[in-house]
Structure 1
Amino acid sequence: MKWKNILNKQQSAGLAMVSVFIMVLVISIMNKRHVLDLEYSLTTIYDDRLMAENHIFNLSKKIYQKKILLNVDEDRLMMSRIHINDSINLLIADYEETKLTMDEAFQLKKLKSSLGKAELFENQFVYSSSAEHRNLLNPELRAQYEIILADLEGLAMLQLHEGQKLIDQSHRIAASSNVTTRLEVGLLIILGLMTHIIFAARPPAPKYSYFDNLN
């Protein structure tokens, strides 16, 4: 009966060990998922937020360059305008390659519309043969550039908002991973103790003496 009780206890302990092992395996998979989520979050912060913010900064620089060009002669204005507009189009295309939220897509559409209006004013300004007409267009064009800069500022604020959301998400993932890691370590310790108990509780092997064999 004593042996039977010992065997029953060992079976129960064995089942408990299997359960703990399965829990450790599940937690290990969760930790791996946390690592992948954290890696994705950090990649998104760089590719879709920091790079997008860099595009916005460069677009703002181009608009300020355009404002300065309004004070130069017509030939230089025409050549520089073509170069700057090409750069702006490339930056817009790069920005569109990033992952956009609905708010960002709406703000970008607004920005492109403002850029289109500015280009119409620029065409009139550059190709106008009347100095008086250019003088009338100058403040309108400057005002349009201010609208574009405001649109860019709106995009920048959205970038900050979305970037903060990603950082908060990364913190939550890291905190969750920390908890599951501690739980995994605790379960491994329990598993080790249970293994020790099972082997310690094994019934001793029967002892045979030389005289028993003679009988």
Structure 2
Amino acid sequence: MPKNQPQNRKLKVAIILTIIIVMIFGKNILERKNFNELGDSFVSFYEDRLVVESYIFSISEKLFRIKLLVNHCEFESDYSHVIDEISEYEEDILLLVDSFEKTKLTLTEDQFLTDFRNIIEKNLRISEYALLYSDETGINSKSVKEYNSYIERAISDLEKLSLIQIEEGQKLANNSDKVVNRSRIWAQFEVAALVILLIIIYLLIYTSRSIKADFID
């Protein structure tokens, strides 16, 4: 047997082993990346979608209470507290909007949320109860109608924001599925690579024994 043949064989085996080891090392790096990406998806799903949906629910409830106060103003026996109640609800809504704005917003979310804020700050401010109702003239239908139109517009913004939470949540779920599937593929590769390593080790041991036997003979 030529002297350089075992050396060439060892060189080829060394190259194959190096490639496999590098691939396994790369797989571990990608696995850590996938793990971090999956963790970020879960955090984003909770902080930017579930929590935001709770903000939207609370805002909707307060907006509904404002709508009741406006639409049933003629049944109020004590008018003095109504404006204060409406103002209090509006301030509570703006605090929730502040929290909403601190989350990770899409471009569309930012547009709807900005429009919603403008409605609360500029269009739903009532300086005095007489704008809605007075004992002399009764309900100011024009003011109530205008006020209700702004409330409906605000509700429409909230509904669209709520739909965005569903859409973005679905995207995060799909991305998580992709990360999990990638991890499964790489796990299968790792098993295959380990099997190949075992085969190579076995062949090295077998070849070494054969070379020794030939040398003794």
Q: Provide the TM-score with structure 2 as the length reference.
A: 0.84
**2-side partners of 1:12 and 1:171: how far apart?**
39
Partner of 1:12: 12
The CA deviation string for residues 133-155 of structure 1, in whole angstroms up to 9 with x for no partner, is 75332232222211111111111
Deviation at 1:93, TM superposition (A): 0.3
Q: Which residue of the other structure, out of 111, 116, 132, is the alignment partner of 1:106?
A: 111
SS of structure 2 residue aligned to 1:204: helix
1:187 aligns with 2:193: yes
1:123 corresponds, among 127, 131, 135, to: 127
Alignment partner of 1:204 out of 209, 212, 216 = 212
Give the drift of 1:124.
4.3
Deviations 1:23-66 (A, max 9, x none): 11111111111111111111111111111111111110110111
RMSD of aligned residue pairs (Cα, Å): 2.3
Q: CA deviation at 1:2?
A: 5.3
Whole-angstrom distance in 2 between the partners of 1:130 and 1:53: 38
After superposition, the Cα gap between the structure-2 partners of 1:201 and 1:76, relative to the gap in structure 1 and judged at 3 Å, is same
Hey, what does 2:169 align to over in structure 1?
163
Task: Report the Cα distance in structure 2 between the residues aligned to 1:133 and 1:124, rounded to whole angstroms.
Answer: 15
How many residue pairs get aligned? The number is 206
Length-normalised TM-score, structure 1: 0.85
| 1:74-113 matches, cutoff 5 A | 74-113=79-118
Whole-Å separation in 2 of the counterparts to 1:128 and 1:141: 9
User: Contact (CA 8 Å) 1:114, 1:148: kept in 2 or not?
Assistant: yes
Match of 1:69 in 2: 69
Is contact 1:62-1:88 (8 Å) kept?
yes
8 Å CA contact retained: 1:77, 1:126: no
Question: Alpha carbons of 1:21 and 1:129: their partners in 2 closer, same or farther (altered >3 Å)?
Answer: closer
Q: Does 1:49 align with 2:49?
A: yes
Q: Equivalent residue for 1:38?
A: 38
Alpha-carbon shift at residue 190 of structure 1 (Å): 1.0
**Structure 1 129/54 Cα, relative in aligned 2: closer, same or farther at 3 Å?**
closer
The answer to whether the 8 Å contact 2:83/2:129 transfers is no
Report % sequence identity: 25
